[in-house]
Structure 1
Amino acid sequence: MKTEQLTCDYLIVGAGAVGMAFADVLLHETNANILIIDKNAKPGGHWNYAYPFVTLHQPSAFYGVCSKELNRGVIDKCGMNEGLMGLASGQEVSAYFDAVMNETFLPSGRVQYFPMCEYKGNKQFVSALNGTQYDVTVNKKIVDATYLNTNIPLTHTPSFTRDDDVAFAPVNTVVQHIAKHSNYVVIGGGKTGIDTCLWLLQNHVSPNNIHWVVSRDAWLLNRKNTQPLTSFFFDAIGAQANQVEAIAASTSIEDMFDKLEESGVLLRLDKTVRPCMFHGATVSEIELKALQSLRSVIRHGRVSHISKDKLHFENATWDMPDNALVIDCSASALTNLEMKPVFEGDVITPQTVRAYQPVFSAALIAHVEAAYSDEKQKQLLTQVVPLPNRDIDWLPMTAAMLRNMQIWGEDQALKAWIYHCRLDGFSRIVHGVDKDDREKMQVLGRLKSAGAPAMQKLMTYIHGLKAAGQL
C-alpha cells in the first residue's frame, strides 16, 4: 500500500488529557503546526472507556486544557460532595475534550488530527480503518503523550483466576449485570473501588450487602484541601502549611504520617489499620464516613482465585455471600512508574512535574518548550515528580514537588505564567492575600518558615530508606 507523506513541527502521539493539554499550550503560545495521532475514535484517551459513574476526584476547575474552562463554577448543593466544587462526570470530560478538538484545535488550521491510528515508531503510523500508512517529517519534536500508561478496567487482565460459574463483571459493565443480585463483592482498594462502593451506597444498597476486598489500605487526601477558592484558603493553603510543619516536626517516618493525619493532611479508612499504600486518591469527609459504614472489609492481601463459594488468597479463604456479583476494580490507574528525562534530544516525554496534576504538568512542559531554548534549563524546570505506590513513596514525591516549586519560584517569568495558568489551582489564592490580613499572612509565614526544615527532614528520611534498600 502506498505511504502518504505528512509534515508538521510537533508530532504528538496520544490525544488523551496529557496530549491535549500539551497541544493546547503549543497552539496558543507558538505558531507551530501540530499533528496528533491517537488509537481511539475520539479524543480523551482513557475517558473513552470510563465506567458510567466515574467522576474526577479533584475539582474540575483545574482539569482539562488551559484555554477552555471545564468547571462551571458550581458548588455542589447535595450528595457526597456537598459544599465543595463540582466534579465533572466521565461523560462531561469526554464531551469537553471532543469540544476542545472540534471547536479550538481543528478550526485553528494548525492542527491535524488522525484518530483510529497506531503509531509504529520512527515517525510512522498506520490507520486502523483502511490500513493507510503515513510517514511524517517532523521539523521540531515528537511528543510521547502515552508514556503514563493508563490501565483501563474494561481491558484489564486481572491477576486472579476465576471459575466459569462466578457472577463477575468489570466495573465498566457493572450496570448491565447489577440486577437480581443480593450481595456485591468489590475487588480493589483504590480510586475505582472507592467509586464503586460509594455508587452502590448512593443507589440505596445496604452497607451490609457490600463486601470490599482491600489488599492494601491507603492514605487518602481530603478533598476540602484541594479547593481553588479564596473561601477555602485556610483549608487549601492551611493544609500545605500543616504538611511542611508536620514533616519538619516529625521524629520518624511513622511519626511523620501520624502528624500528617493529626493535622488533617491525610485520612485513612480505619484508625486501627496502618496504611501501606498511597496513590493520591481524594475523598470528601462525607464520602469517608460513608465508606466507614461498610462492615465487611476483607483484608487478606491479593485475591488469587474466585470460586462460587469462596475467595482464595495466598494464605486465607473467605466465604462468598449468597447470590453475589463480583465487581473487578483491581486495575491500577497508571502502570508505568519508571521515570525518564522529559526533554531528551528530539523527543519530549510528558510526565508529572507536580504531584496529582498530570494535565498541569503537561501544560507547563509545553510552555517550557515554547519559551526556553536551552536544553539544560528545560531539564532543570521539568524534573519528574515520581508517581507513588507505597506509603513511603510519598516522601520522594513530596520532596521532588517541593524542589520544583522552589525552582519555579526563582524564575520570575515562569512564576508569572503559573499564576495565569487556569490549571494551577492555588497561585492566585496566595498572591491575592491582603498584606493586612493577619490570619492569612500567618499561614503564609508558617508555610515559608517550615519549608526548608521540612525538605531537610525529607531528605534525611529518603537517604535512610535508600541505605536500607527500600527506595
Structure 2
Amino acid sequence: MALEADYLVIGAGATALSFVDTLLEQDEEATVVMIDRHSAPGGHWNDAYSFVALHQPSSSYGVNRVPLGQDRIDEAGPNKGFFELASGAEVLAYFQSVMRDHLLPTGRVQYFPNSEYDGERGFRNIFSGEETQVTVNRKLVDTTYFETSVPSTHKRAFTVADGVRVVVPGALPDLWKSGPLPPHYCILGAGKTAMDTGIWLLEAGIPADSITWVKPRESWLINRATVQPGEQFFDSTIGGQISIMKAAAAATSGAEIFHQLERDGVMLRIDRDVEPEMFHYATISQGEVDRLRGIGNVVRMGRVEAVEPGRMVLQGGEVAMPEGTLYIDCTASAVRPKPVAPQWQGDRIVLQLLHVPLVTLNSAVSAFIEANFDTDEEKNALCRPVSFIDNIDGYSGIILGTGINRFTWAQNPKVSEFLAASRLDPSAPTIRQLRETAPERLSIIAEMQGAVMAAMPNLQKLAAKAAAEAQAG
C-alpha cells in the first residue's frame, strides 16, 4: 500500500495528538498520517495502571481545542480544594474521542494503530506484517523522545525466585478475585507510581504496618497548591514562581534551592529526615504526603536485585520478609534523561521538552510555530530544547531553559497571542482575563519579572556547573 501526506507523525500519544490538533487549526491545508504501536490513541495511557491520575489539573492537559474535564474543584479526598485530576480511564477515553470525533472527521488525518515505523518513511502492521510506504511532502514528526516506561511494559532489572509473587500496580484492584489476600505488601520503587500505589493500598484498607516500601532514593515533590490555574489561584501560583526565582537567585547549589522552596511551601518531601537525590516534577498534595508518611517500614538499601522466599536482596544487603509477601513492581522510570538537539532538522521535527513539565503545551506551541514561521533558524530560535537532568543540581538548568523559552515567546507577538488563548497554558489566559476584569491584581507580575531578572545570572552559573559535573560523570 502507498500513501501521501504532508506530515507523517510517529506516535499517537498526548504529544502527537496535541501537535496535530494545533497544526490542523493553524494550517487549513495540512494532511497527516499518524502511526502508533498501540491499538488505540493515547500512547502510554493505554498501558497505565487503573488507578493512575494526572499530576496536573485536567484543565491544562490534552489538546488545545478539546477541553478535558469540567473545570471542577474537588470537594473531597486528598485533592480537596483544587482543580480536578482526570483518572487514567478518563484520559484514555478523552484521547480516543479526540481522534474519533475531532481529528478523523476533518478528512485530513489518517490513523494507523498497531503499526511500527520502519525508519524509511514507511510502516508495518504489527499483526499482519503488511507494509505501507508514505510519500511525505513536508516533514516527518518524531514524538518518541517522550516515550515513557510504565510498570506493565518495562523489563525488570531484578530476579524473581520460584514461589514469589510480583505484580504490577494495575493488578491490585483484582486481587480479591484470586483467593486469599497476601499477608504483607512490598512496594518496589520510589517514584510517583510507588506513591500512587501506597495511597491506593492505604485507602483500600491495608494497614500501614502491613506495607514495606523499598525507596532507593528520596524525591522532592511539587506542592499541588502552588501550581493551580485560574484567577482564584493566581496570586498563590505566581507567588510560587516568584519563590522559585528568589531561591534560585540566592542559592549556591540545587539542594539550597529545594530547601528554600520547602520552607516557602512550594516543595514537599515525604521523609523530612532524608535528603532527596531526585526530582521528576511529581506533583502531590499535602494530604497525600501526610498519608504516605504513615508507612513507617521503609527500606533504604539501594535498588532491589532479587526477591526470594523470605528475603529481599538489595544493593546494600539483605532484608528478611514475611512469607507470602506480594511485591509490587513500581521500578519503571517515567523520566529518562536524554540528550537534546534542535527540534527542526530539515525534513524532520523531533519534539522535545521546551516548557518543563508541560508536554502537551510544548507540542502545541511547536505546531503553531511550524505553521506560522518559515525557516528552521526562526523556529529553532523560538524553541530551544531543555535538557532534563533528574538529579537535584540539574534543576537550575531546567528553570533556566524553561525561562528562556517563556521569555522568548512573550516577546514574539504571534506566539504570545496564541498562548493567551491556549487552555494548555496555566497562566497566560488568566493574565489576559485579569487585564480585562481586575488589572490591579497584575501588579504581582512586575515582582515576578524583577525576580526573574535577578535570578538569571546565578541560574546560568549553577546550570553551567551542573552540566560540567554531569559531563564529567
2:46 counterpart (45, 48, 54): 48
Secondary structure, in 3 states, of the residue corresponding to 1:82?
Answer: coil
CA spacing shift, 1:34–1:454, aligned 2, 3 Å: same
Secondary structure, in 3 states, of the residue corresponding to 1:121?
Answer: coil
Identity of aligned residues (%): 36
Mapped to 1, the partners of 2:440 and 2:242 lie a distance apart of 13
CA contact (8 A) 1:353 1:383 kept: yes
Q: Aligned AA for 1:249? A: A
Mapped to 2, the partners of 1:363 and 1:375 lie a distance apart of 17
The C-alpha deviation readout for 1:123-161, integer Å capped at 9, x for no partner, is: 111122322211111100000112222112112111111
Mapped to 2, the partners of 1:128 and 1:223 lie a distance apart of 40
Is 1:364 the counterpart of 2:365? The answer is: yes
Mapped to 1, the partners of 2:337 and 2:142 lie a distance apart of 13
Q: Which residue pairs with 2:56 in the alignment? A: 58
Mapped to 2, the partners of 1:435 and 1:396 lie a distance apart of 35
Q: Aligned AA for 2:97? A: A
Q: Which residue pairs with 1:394 in the alignment? A: 395
The C-alpha deviation readout for 1:34-86, integer Å capped at 9, x for no partner, is: 11111111111111111110111110111110110012111111111111111
Is 1:18 the counterpart of 2:19? The answer is: no
Mapped to 2, the partners of 1:335 and 1:251 lie a distance apart of 26
CA contact (8 A) 2:360 2:424 kept: yes
Mapped to 2, the partners of 1:131 and 1:116 lie a distance apart of 10
Secondary structure, in 3 states, of the residue corresponding to 1:136?
Answer: strand
Q: Aligned AA for 2:143? A: A
Query: How far did 1:189 drift?
Result: 0.5
Q: Which residue pairs with 1:458 in the alignment? A: 459
Query: How far did 1:198 drift?
Result: 0.7
Secondary structure, in 3 states, of the residue corresponding to 1:64?
Answer: coil
Mapped to 1, the partners of 2:342 and 2:450 lie a distance apart of 31
Query: How far did 1:20 drift?
Result: 0.6
CA contact (8 A) 2:355 2:361 kept: yes
Mapped to 1, the partners of 2:390 and 2:167 lie a distance apart of 25
Query: How far did 1:252 drift?
Result: 4.1
CA contact (8 A) 2:11 2:43 kept: yes
Q: Which residue pairs with 1:148 in the alignment? A: 146
Query: How far did 1:342 drift?
Result: 0.8
Give matches, 1:4-153, under 5 Å: 4-30=1-27, 31-153=29-151
Secondary structure, in 3 states, of the residue corresponding to 2:145?
Answer: coil
Q: Which residue pairs with 1:241 in the alignment? A: 242
Secondary structure, in 3 states, of the residue corresponding to 2:313?
Answer: strand
CA contact (8 A) 2:343 2:383 kept: yes
Q: Which residue pairs with 2:190 in the alignment? A: 189
Give matches, 1:116-265, under 5 Å: 116-177=114-175, 180-265=181-266
Secondary structure, in 3 states, of the residue corresponding to 2:147?
Answer: coil
**Number of residue-to-residue matches in the alignment:** 468
Secondary structure, in 3 states, of the residue corresponding to 1:113?
Answer: strand
The C-alpha deviation readout for 1:200-232, integer Å capped at 9, x for no partner, is: 111121111121111110110011112111111
Larger displacement relative to structure 2 (428-437 or 408-417): 428-437
Mapped to 1, the partners of 2:20 and 2:78 lie a distance apart of 34
Query: How far did 1:381 drift?
Result: 1.0
CA contact (8 A) 1:241 1:443 kept: no
Secondary structure, in 3 states, of the residue corresponding to 2:353?
Answer: coil
CA contact (8 A) 1:59 1:86 kept: yes
Q: Aligned AA for 1:109? A: G
Secondary structure, in 3 states, of the residue corresponding to 1:311?
Answer: strand
CA contact (8 A) 2:222 2:281 kept: yes
Mapped to 2, the partners of 1:101 and 1:437 lie a distance apart of 38
TM-score by length of 2: 0.95
CA spacing shift, 1:88–1:242, aligned 2, 3 Å: same
Mapped to 1, the partners of 2:211 and 2:440 lie a distance apart of 44
CA contact (8 A) 1:241 1:444 kept: no
Mapped to 1, the partners of 2:55 and 2:194 lie a distance apart of 13
Mapped to 2, the partners of 1:372 and 1:349 lie a distance apart of 17
Give matches, 1:329-344, under 5 Å: 329-335=330-336, 337-344=338-345
Query: How far did 1:326 drift?
Result: 0.3
Mapped to 2, the partners of 1:391 and 1:82 lie a distance apart of 29
Query: How far did 1:444 drift?
Result: 2.0
Secondary structure, in 3 states, of the residue corresponding to 2:69?
Answer: coil
The C-alpha deviation readout for 1:145-179, integer Å capped at 9, x for no partner, is: 12222112112111111211112112222333465
Q: Aligned AA for 2:270? A: L
Query: How far did 1:383 drift?
Result: 0.8
Mapped to 1, the partners of 2:430 and 2:318 lie a distance apart of 51
CA spacing shift, 1:418–1:205, aligned 2, 3 Å: same
Q: Aligned AA for 2:215? A: V
Return 5+ residue gaps in structure 2 as ranges: none
CA contact (8 A) 2:121 2:135 kept: yes
CA spacing shift, 1:303–1:82, aligned 2, 3 Å: same
Q: Aligned AA for 1:63? A: Y
Mapped to 2, the partners of 1:469 and 1:295 lie a distance apart of 34
CA contact (8 A) 1:381 1:408 kept: yes
Q: Report the RMSD for the aligned CA atoms in angstroms.
A: 1.8
Mapped to 2, the partners of 1:65 and 1:435 lie a distance apart of 26
